[in-house]
Amino acid sequence: MARVFVDQIKIHARAGKGGDGSVHFHRGKFRPRGGPDGGDGGWGGDVILTVDPSTDSLRHFFFNGRLLAQDGATGGGNECTGRSGDDATFKVPPGTVISRLTQVENDETGEIETKSELVADLTETGATFVLCKGGKGGKGNVHFKTSTNQAPRENTPGVPGEEGDFHFELRSIAEAGLVGFPNAGKSTLLSKLSAAKPKIANYPFTTLQPMVGVIHFDEFHRGTMADIPGIIEGAHANIGLGHEFLRHIMRCRILLFVVDTAGSEGRDPISDLETLRKEVKLYSTELAKRPWCIIANKVDLAESDENLVHLQERFKRIKILPISANEGTGMDSLRKYLESKIARPIA
Ligand SMILES: Nc1nc2c(ncn2[C@@H]2O[C@H](COP(=O)(O)OP(=O)(O)OP(=O)(O)O)[C@@H](O)[C@H]2O)c(=O)[nH]1
Ligand SMILES: [Mg+2]
């Protein structure tokens, strides 16, 4: 599947350094010159990523591009191991792809180039990934006692934590996403354009999970389209599982707003579109800036004629594609339009 990246950022991460081993000698009331009892340093904390669907972009890393975990503490007397540094855990949205960036010298030109190497593709909710491992603590002097050296002053320092530059990218689920109220005909449309077989029914929220279909334009080109569950007024405030559905929309490059042009069940396509646009904008101004167009569906129904004229008057500068997903009207123009926007060469 063609990949489109909608969100990416460069990150520097450093795990905690291990604590140094301690040099210490036992001091008891009756043993003023006791043996070595310096303990080991604690482990440095790890930098950990966890896949959390409550976050939908990598935006939060924009203000915090340095991910640091705590250092381990130095060992103590009485063979006490130092405290381990706390791990630092950061949330990433499902679909985050992590690459390690390293500077390498080009053998031929001698120029320094950045090499990018994939280290993780994080998709499963709840999955965790250790981006940088904390360093091991050093050894305390208790380990250095020998028959000839009863009072060693040796220890080892803690190992530095892993450190590196990374590239985080949020992979999109599809190039085009169908956005609309329940029952607008999104699933019907996807089933007509692709081989996907989404469930279609005359009741709201038939679709609860996004489904991606592949549209074949010709032998060499195709594009992807996601059928996304319907969103309703208040979706930005999480009404009707709004956040869950808007999150999927975040991962589409172009938004196709599907409306029931006939205004069945007392709906009005203009106010439907205004509401949908408002919800998208309130959820994310970045999302509202993505390219979009209107798919005016159900033009086979009589009430659609007048509404279509009003829709065109209201959204003069926006591309409007009148179709009937059920009867196939307007599908050729829609395909041509999509081809110009989302067709990619088959890899
Ligand atoms: N008359 C007419 N009905 C249509 C058309 N397209 C879809 N429908 C009907 O509208 C109803 C809803 O269709 P779906 O494709 O399930 O709608 P949806 O937008 O996916 O709905 P949700 O998954 O609930 O968000 C079904 O009864 C379809 O048969 C059309 O072009 N004309
Ligand atoms: Mg559906």
Question: 166-191, pLDDT tens digit by residue?
Answer: 999 888 889 999 999 999 999 999 99
Question: Alpha-carbon distance 337 to 253, whole Å?
Answer: 15
Q: pLDDT at residue 154 above 90?
A: yes
- On whether the pTM is more than 0.75, the answer is no
Q: Is 136 in the pocket of ligand 1 (CB under 6 A)?
A: no
Note the pLDDT of residue 1: 32
In this prediction, residues 221-231 reach a mean pLDDT of 93
Note the pLDDT of residue 5: 40
Q: For atom 32 of ligand 1, which residue has the closest CA? A: 298
Q: Please tell me the distance between residue 79's alpha carbon and the centre of ligand 2 in angstroms.
A: 64
Note the pLDDT of residue 97: 92
For 6-22, the pLDDT digits (tens) are: 478 999 999 999 999 99
Q: Binning pLDDT at 50, 70 and 90, where does residue 248 land?
A: confident
Q: pLDDT at residue 316 above 90?
A: yes
At 89, which amino acid appears?
T
345: left (phi over 0), alpha (psi -120 to 50) or beta: beta
Please, is 188 exposed, middle or buried when counting C-beta atoms within 10 Å of its C-beta (0-12, 13-18, 19+)? buried
What residues have their beta carbon closer than 5 A to ion ligand 2? 187, 206-207
Q: Is 205 in the pocket of ligand 1 (CB under 6 A)?
A: yes
Neighbouring-strand partners of residue 96? 122, 170
Span of 28-32, 55-59, 248-252, 314-318 with lowest mean pLDDT: 28-32
Residue among 223, 247, 250 nearest 335 (CA):
223
For 88-132, the pLDDT digits (tens) are: 999 998 889 999 999 999 888 899 999 999 999 998 889 999 999
Sign for the pseudo-dihedral over CA of 246, 251, 255, 259: negative
Q: Is 204 in the pocket of ligand 1 (CB under 6 A)?
A: yes
Q: pLDDT at residue 4 above 60?
A: no
Helix (H) or strand (E) holding 226: strand 221-227
Q: Please tell me the distance between residue 179's alpha carbon and the centre of ligand 1 in angstroms.
A: 13
Asked if residues 213 and 195 have their Cβ atoms less than 8 Å apart, the reply is: yes
Asked if residues 88 and 67 have their Cβ atoms less than 8 Å apart, the reply is: yes
Asked if residues 48 and 121 have their Cβ atoms less than 8 Å apart, the reply is: no
Q: For atom 26 of ligand 1, which residue has the closest CA? A: 202
Q: Please tell me the distance between residue 324's alpha carbon and the centre of ligand 1 in angstroms.
A: 10
In this prediction, residues 201-224 reach a mean pLDDT of 89
Distance of CA 190 to the CA centre of its chain: 24
Q: pLDDT at residue 62 above 60?
A: yes
Question: Alpha-carbon distance 195 to 185, whole Å?
Answer: 16
Q: Is 182 in the pocket of ligand 1 (CB under 6 A)?
A: yes
Question: Alpha-carbon distance 154 to 152, whole Å?
Answer: 5
Q: pLDDT at residue 306 above 50?
A: yes
In this prediction, residues 225-236 reach a mean pLDDT of 92
Span of 38-47, 242-251, 299-308 with lowest mean pLDDT: 242-251
Residue among 346, 347, 4 nearest 175 (CA):
4
Portion of the chain with pLDDT greater than 70, in percent = 98
At 43, which amino acid appears?
W
Note the pLDDT of residue 21: 97
Note the pLDDT of residue 2: 33
Give the end-to-end CA distance of the chain in Å, rounded to a whole number.
Answer: 8
What dihedral do alpha carbons 282, 284, 290, 294 form, nearest 10°? -30
In this prediction, residues 243-250 reach a mean pLDDT of 86
Sign for the pseudo-dihedral over CA of 242, 243, 248, 253: positive
Portion of the chain with pLDDT greater than 90, in percent = 70
Q: Binning pLDDT at 50, 70 and 90, where does residue 3 land?
A: very low
